[in-house]
Amino acid sequence: MLEVKDLHVTVEGSEILKGLNLTIGAGEVHAIMGPNGAGKSTLSAVIAGKDGYEVTAGTITFEGRDVLEMEIEERARAGLLLGFQYPVEIPGVKNIYLLKAALNAKREAEGLGEIPAPEFMKLIKEKIAFMKMDASFLQRAVNEGFSGGEKKRNEILQMLVLQPRLAMLDEIDSGLDIDAMKVVAQGVNSLRAEDRGILLVTHYQRLLDYIVPDRVHVLVDGRIVKSGDAELARELEDRGYDWLLEGSEA
């Protein structure tokens, strides 16, 4: 479903991704791991269309479409959704507004009409209960004054409501205590489906105890230097990244 070929990306003149290749098929959960500064967050940000990244070479194809030619919102509506590492606070914009506007935008792209209000409310109530969130949260401004855990839950809630084709989760585990991590992992696992891909970007193996990936890739210095199954994550936990760093420099 997603194919990244020979992707080169520069940020403010310095090259961060240096020929990255990645293929994610429907129904698969991939994890990208790597040391800080390897370019993990850059990959998901470029796929989502964030400003400030220049693609100098390579292609990104999603279900046959050239992702780099699509507007940010088009990508999201096509089902490419990024859960942020640092969700931005949006004072004054109620969560309920964001959820409804986003869902209707997606439905419009799919040729469906606006979601009827009762149906929307039923859906939302079900999802916030699943994420163990209080209903009052819907009237609160997006992420404003939220704890780290609440922000991450909110990212997953948006995924549950918007049902992406490919969910990309950037360091969704950072700043979470173990209970919050379990809730977040439960949310992500509930997204697993035959027609959906999931891309986890993480620094630590811990998350992968709760969300077991099909494939693990190690990103070092802008390239994927090693790929394997869930076992690779455990090996990284034991051995760290150094043995791979040396390999990449050789």
Partner 1 sequence: MNDDVQRFLDRLAERQASRGDEPTWISARRQAGAARFEALGFPHRRVEAWKYTDVRDIARTDFALADDADFSPAAAATLTLPIEAHRLTFVDGVYAPALSDLDALPAGVQVLPLSQALADNHEAVGGPLGRLTGVEFSPFAALNTAFMEEGAVVRLAPRTVVEKPIVLQFLSRDGERQVMSHPRILVEAGGRSEATLIEHHAGEEGAANFTNLVEEIILDRGAILTHYKLQEAPLKDRHVASVQVEQARDSRYTSFNLNLGGGLVRTDLVSDLNGEGAEATFHGLFYGQGRQHVDTHTLVHHNAPHTRSSENYKGILDDRAHGVFNGRVVVKRDSQQIESEQSNANLLLSDRAEIDTKPELEIYADDVKCAHGATTGQLDEEAVYALRARGIDEQTARGLLTLAFAGEVMELVDLDAVAERVELTVAGKLPERFNLAGLVETATALNED
- Chain residues in the site for partner 1 (CB under 8 A): 48-51, 71-73, 76-77, 81-82, 84, 87-88, 90-94, 96-98, 100-102, 104-106, 109, 114, 117, 120-121, 138-139, 141-142, 158, 162
Least distance to partner 1 from the beta carbon of 54, Å? 16
Which is closer to partner 1, CB of 48 or CB of 216?
48
Least distance to partner 1 from the beta carbon of 94, Å? 6
Least distance to partner 1 from the beta carbon of 6, Å? 25
Q: Which of 101, 59, 94 is nearest to 76 (CA)?
A: 101
**Helices then strands, each counted (H, E), the chain:** 9, 12
Question: Is residue 7 within a helix (H) or strand (E), and if so which, with residue range?
Answer: strand 2-11
Q: Which of 159, 241, 161, 239 is nearest to 200 (CA)?
A: 159
Which is closer to partner 1, CB of 55 or CB of 102?
102
Which is closer to partner 1, CB of 21 or CB of 104?
104
Which is closer to partner 1, CB of 26 or CB of 70?
70
Long-range pairs, 232-238, Cβ under 8 A, ≥24: 233/31, 233/33, 233/205, 233/208, 234/205, 236/33, 236/205, 237/205
Least distance to partner 1 from the beta carbon of 90, Å? 5
Which is closer to partner 1, CB of 114 or CB of 134?
114
* Residue 14 Cα to chain centre, angstroms: 24
Which is closer to partner 1, CB of 33 or CB of 133?
133
Residue 27 CB contacts under 8 Å (≥ 6 apart), including other chains: 192, 193, 194, 195, 196, 197
Least distance to partner 1 from the beta carbon of 229, Å? 30
Least distance to partner 1 from the beta carbon of 233, Å? 27
Least distance to partner 1 from the beta carbon of 2, Å? 16
Neighbours of 76 (CB within 10 A): 20
Residue 174 CB contacts under 8 Å (≥ 6 apart), including other chains: 85, 148, 203
Which is closer to partner 1, CB of 68 or CB of 93?
93
Question: Is residue 141 within a helix (H) or strand (E), and if so which, with residue range?
Answer: strand 141-142
Residue pair 225/194 in contact (Cβ under 8 Å)? The answer is no
